Structure 1
Amino acid sequence: MSKLAPVIIEPQSPATAAVIWLHGLGADGHDFAEVVPSLNLPASHGIRFVFPHAPVQPVTINGGMTMRSWFDIRSMDLMNDVDSAGIRVSCHQVYKLIEQQRDSGIDEQRIVLAGFSQGGLVALHAGLSYDHALAGIMALSTWCPLVEQFYLHRQMPIFIAHGQQDPIIPLQLGAQARDDLVAKGYGVQWQAYPMQHQVCAPELDAIGQWLQQVLRLDLAVAG
């Protein structure tokens, strides 16, 4: 992972949960930090948001240009020409981020992995291969090759959202990720929005509601 420390947004109250949110190709950890207020979470949500930076490395499809990337993208054959070794490396870095939150006193069942595009793919692969079940996985505008490798944590909530006019990761790849995961026995909450390769206000509302559900914030507040 990059030597840069992740962007971390601490809650107003002591942290009792964490969301580790991975950015997309060419972005960095600041990319989604600004959306946290738009999730409309209760003021006492207790969620620490962690936005790590991908390493800077060459990306084949972009002519070998170096940029922040969780793994190499070699061609537009996204389902078959897969940098599985690079994905594994990023997954192990995500495991370390999870362990850091556990070491801080947050139980793994109070940790959500989230990601957009490339980051969403890594969130799915890391969350479904980690030794312990997490609170859930949120995968936005992404795709999911290598589903045959998954067999753990079939009860873990998964939220997948996609843009209906996405020109980068076509909608059918997001729908295939949903269908492949469901066929493997996973429960998936699916949303599609009239947008391109981005996030939108209704999607952020749905994310906020889903986080409150899987992190049981209503129970935390009541307690």
Structure 2
Amino acid sequence: MSLSPAERTRLWRAERQRLGLVKLELWVPPGAKADIQAAARAIITASSRGPALLRNPDPPQGSFQMDHVIDTDWSVKSLAAALTETRLLRDGELTARVLEGSEPVLQITMHEFGDLPIYLSVGAEQIVVSALMWPVDEQKDQAAFNVFLLKAQKLVPLSNFGITTVAGRDYYEIFGELACKTTLQTVIIELRMLAENAIRAADELRETFASAA
């Protein structure tokens, strides 16, 4: 049963009180809005996991600190090295390895999300991170679902949906894009966000579409 706007507001207020949430207002440059929103969401997500944070209680150290801003573009290999060295990650959170080819790709296994594989590539102007979901030909009523997915896209923060071809078969794909010059912290936030959105898309979006059909 759907809730009215007033009922949703009352439930949200009760949940805020239960969790002890507080409201913060920040004035930031327009270009920083997406990073600030992503950082805030990542902090909330991480803090809700509680004990997982106890495995990495020390502040970041070394070459790749939280506020480390680079002057040169990332490459697949430099990102692999940075993810191995950094202490911004929780213990055992992910594993990264370089897949060699005509264009190297970084395969990142997100252990906290059921070993979900995420693929990262670096182009001339941007970093692209993506995760395959399910084959297009397994989706019932593909045309209607594609329209539904485009309408639902705004509900999935900092990620986009597309279709990509792997070994001659089309798959739904979820992806995000970053500038080649960005902080390692932002890359990690994008990886966590993409993994969370991929899991949500595989469960909630397909179920919502099926129930509405």
> Above 0.5 in TM-score?
no
Higher helix share: 2
**TM class, shorter-chain normalised?**
under 0.3
Q: TM-score, normalised by structure 1?
A: 0.26
